[in-house]
Chains A and B, each alone.
Chain A
Amino acid sequence: MWEPEAVKKFNVLVEVTLQPGILDPQGTTIERSLPHLGFDGISGVTVGKAIRFTCEAADEGAARGEVEELCKRFLTNPVIEDATITLERA
């Protein structure tokens, strides 16, 4: 497919996690059940969300800025959640 040279495509992974100190009932429940199920030695379980999409922007910095804004306004609730953004050229 033809695309103008000025626009680059990025594959984006946003991992949404609960902020440190916010209770993670899903994580603790999974962790608590592990010994019953015979999985020992696993700790530090946390549960979050992974959101994937592609983003068009002039360069990586612009793409990152756009995705950060998206995370702040929509994909996370800043009261309880953090986002980690991973970008790579599509």
Chain B
Amino acid sequence: MKGMAEPLHRALGLTDDEAGDIERILGREPNHLELAMFSVMWSEHCSYKSSRRHLKRLPTEGDAVLVGPGEGAGVLDVGDGIAAAIRIESHNHPSAIEPYQGAATGAGGILRDIFSVGARPIALMDPLRVGPLDEPRNRWLLDGIVSGVSGYGNSVGVPTIGGELVFDETYAENPLVNVLCLGLLPTDRLVLARASGEGNLAVLLGSSTGRDGIGGASMASEGFGDGEEHAKRPAVQVGDPFEEKRLIEACLMLLDAGLAVGVQDLGAAGITGATSETAGKGGVGMDVDVSAVPRRAPGMDPWEVMISESQERMLAIVTPADLDQVLAVCARWEVEGTVIGRVTGTGRLRVVDGFGGEVLADMPASALSDDAPDYDRPLRAPAPRPAADPPAIADAGETLLGSLLDTSWVSSQYDSQLFLNTVEGPGGDAAVLRLKHPTTGVDTGRGLAVTTDGNHRWCAVAPRRGTAMVVAESVLNLACVGARPLALVNCLNFGNPEHPEVMWQLSESIDGMADACRAFGIPVVGGNVSLYNESRGKDIDPTPVVGLLGVVDRLDRRPPGVGLVDQGRLLLLGERSSHVGGARVWKDAPELPPFDPAAVTAVADVVRGLVADGLLAGAHDIADGGLAGSFGELVARSGLGLEVGLTDTGELFSEAAGRVVVCVAPEHVEEVVRRAGEVPIVDIGGVGGDRLVVAGMVDLSVPAVVSAFRDTLPAAMSAGATH
């Protein structure tokens, strides 16, 4: 083939088989515009063609579920006429190229998903994973990513109430930027992105269309190679939070006034995705007048307009009778509104040059999504790791200090308090928000809690159990703030699905999540799959990240938080374990500790009740860093010393699931032990003094612990950055 021009479909990222399918669907050879439209919709990013069949194994039903996976956002009934919309997405590849804009547009995109179902976004969370900070480029990436979330989220007026920050070599060239958004709407105003009613109009709202991110959806589906991929890299998408803010207000005003039949965000496949999805799901057709689309770059071809990823755009379906009022709302918020489409009864998506003008593309509206390829890619389990003994820990105190990380350097750059809801902000086990009615503002006296969790080390050892342990960690994080779980969303960050080991990881991880969610009774209401996270052929460790939404049934006090009271007793709830498989201290272990979801549920139930009744002075689940990490953080946050006794160093560093350490005032100890019932509970020590002492293993001064916790990140980031 050398020397011959590459066929167009391949240049667009379509395989020969996919091009054949398109020809069969159309009954003729597709033209350039049609191929471009199929190429974005059939990309991995939009079609989930490698993961779809596996995702079907996740449980999605639940009493509170109003909308499950497959829409802009999952929607839950949270009572009092209020529905919560939640979604999580990745923006990994764009952030690796331009961290500020990559992260900013990631936040912008997820916000549009939330208000596309009629919800006002009330909170963002940003689980971040980057390479070690001793490399200047990783500092540049982290600084840019955090500035991007800060610059966009603060300005658009949505508080960022938490997230995660993880450093590991596996992310050195491929940072993971996941963003979760939570929104609220009156239950009776729920709208889905559906076009209906022949003759109704599709109004494009917001920013003009440029060449931004052309091919972005296919970029997100390609690994970063050297050199030859360069030509495929799109113009970087630039976010405009002020446009987005006006777009939010205009869209919500349209929905409040009943002026829109449906609204749809323009995501990775731009106008093509928005028009084909609203028409396809509504069972209708649409004529799209590509010449009407306001453009910002000269000389754009129709195919560029149809697949551009320009940010801050929405599509509203409106009746002709309401158009004037719709445009008046747009004018009030200084949002451009342009009729670009008409709903037809034909079931076909046609791109036309002026209504009634030349037909530039013509295809069944549903073919772009419903007929997308569905690959059963080969899976292969890696060879089992050889049996081994855990490594000896030379200095438990140093190891403890090395696991501490205060993320305030990140969270202080985010407005975490806007809307007067934030009872527990960044840094705790889970964020807690007051639950107020989104339009009347009436306080329900209840709360919502959200946590995001992931652990690539566990998942690299055993993706199935590792993922189940991640879900368990989320359940316990919610319990520590007094919340019961309601629904889960996931962001599955994996390597190249064409590698059978990666497909095996993905499949196993989904099974682990399904097992855990069934055991905990949690429906999965949405997700995002990010594949091809790799650089120069090396896949990242499997990193499923979950976002868990919960409800605090009575929010009349602040949760105990990660803290201590002087003279308090420290009690360990849950089955004791010294198994360090997959822990920070034993990454390449052959296996993870045993996992029993029923035991986790029992611990969570006890802790939730204790928090609700104000019997705890502090609570912290035991996960990354084990008990050592928990002790360190409790001491650093309270400034108080503690002295405990444990079985062995294994117990100090084990990350086995289903354990929570609580601080209890002496007068409540008896009651707490009684309430634990069948759940194992043991007094491991007490609070006091000015040292962190684990008998026979650790003896550190409180200031040393505080300093290791507080200073690590600012010190690392002060060293300057280059790219």
Tally A residues with Cβ within 8 Å of B.
3
Main secondary structure of the interface of B (DSSP, over half): loop
Chain A nearest Cβ from B138, distance in angstroms: 15
Chain B nearest Cβ from A70, distance in angstroms: 21
Say if the beta carbon of B418 comes within 8 Å of chain A: no
Residues of B with C-beta under 8 A to A37: 136, 720, 722
Q: How far is the CA of A37 from the CA of B722 in the complex (A)?
A: 8
Task: Specify which of B136, B719, B720, B722 lies most central, judged by the most chain A CB atoms within 10 Å of its CB.
Answer: B720
Q: How far is the CA of A36 from the CA of B720 in the complex (A)?
A: 7
Chain B nearest Cβ from A50, distance in angstroms: 17
- Cβ < 8 Å to B, chain A residues 21-35: 33
List the B residue with the shortest CB-CB distance to A32: B720
Chain B nearest Cβ from A78, distance in angstroms: 25
Chain B 687-723, CB within 8 Å of chain A: the 1/0 string? 0000000000000000000000000000000011010
Chain A nearest Cβ from B400, distance in angstroms: 30
Chain A 35-47, CB within 8 Å of chain B: the 1/0 string? 0110000000000
Chain B nearest Cβ from A6, distance in angstroms: 29
Q: How far is the CA of A80 from the CA of B279 in the complex (A)?
A: 54
Q: How far is the CA of A90 from the CA of B3 in the complex (A)?
A: 46
List the B residue with the shortest CB-CB distance to A29: B720
Residues of A with C-beta under 8 A to B136: 37
Chain A nearest Cβ from B443, distance in angstroms: 40
Q: How far is the CA of A51 from the CA of B719 in the complex (A)?
A: 32
Chain B nearest Cβ from A68, distance in angstroms: 28
Q: How far is the CA of A37 from the CA of B719 in the complex (A)?
A: 9
Chain B 552-595, CB within 8 Å of chain A: the 1/0 string? 00000000000000000000000000000000000000000000
Q: How far is the CA of A37 from the CA of B720 in the complex (A)?
A: 7
Residues of B with C-beta under 8 A to A36: 719-720
Residues of A with C-beta under 8 A to B720: 33, 36-37
Residues of A with C-beta under 8 A to B719: 36
Q: How far is the CA of A45 from the CA of B720 in the complex (A)?
A: 16
Chain B nearest Cβ from A42, distance in angstroms: 14
Chain A nearest Cβ from B276, distance in angstroms: 39
List the B residue with the shortest CB-CB distance to A38: B722
Q: How far is the CA of A47 from the CA of B544 in the complex (A)?
A: 42
Chain B 466-481, CB within 8 Å of chain A: the 1/0 string? 0000000000000000
Q: How far is the CA of A44 from the CA of B552 in the complex (A)?
A: 55
Q: How far is the CA of A72 from the CA of B719 in the complex (A)?
A: 39
Residues of A with C-beta under 8 A to B722: 37
- Cβ < 8 Å to B, chain A residues 75-90: none
- Cβ < 8 Å to B, chain A residues 43-65: none
Chain A nearest Cβ from B209, distance in angstroms: 23
List the A residue with the shortest CB-CB distance to B719: A36
Chain B nearest Cβ from A29, distance in angstroms: 10
Residues of B with C-beta under 8 A to A33: 720
- Cβ < 8 Å to A, chain B residues 131-156: 136
| A-B contact list, 6 entries, CB within 8 Å | A33-B720, A36-B719, A36-B720, A37-B136, A37-B720, A37-B722
Residues of A within 8 A of B (CB): 33, 36-37
| 4 smallest beta-carbon distances between A and B, as pairs | A36-B720, A33-B720, A37-B720, A37-B722
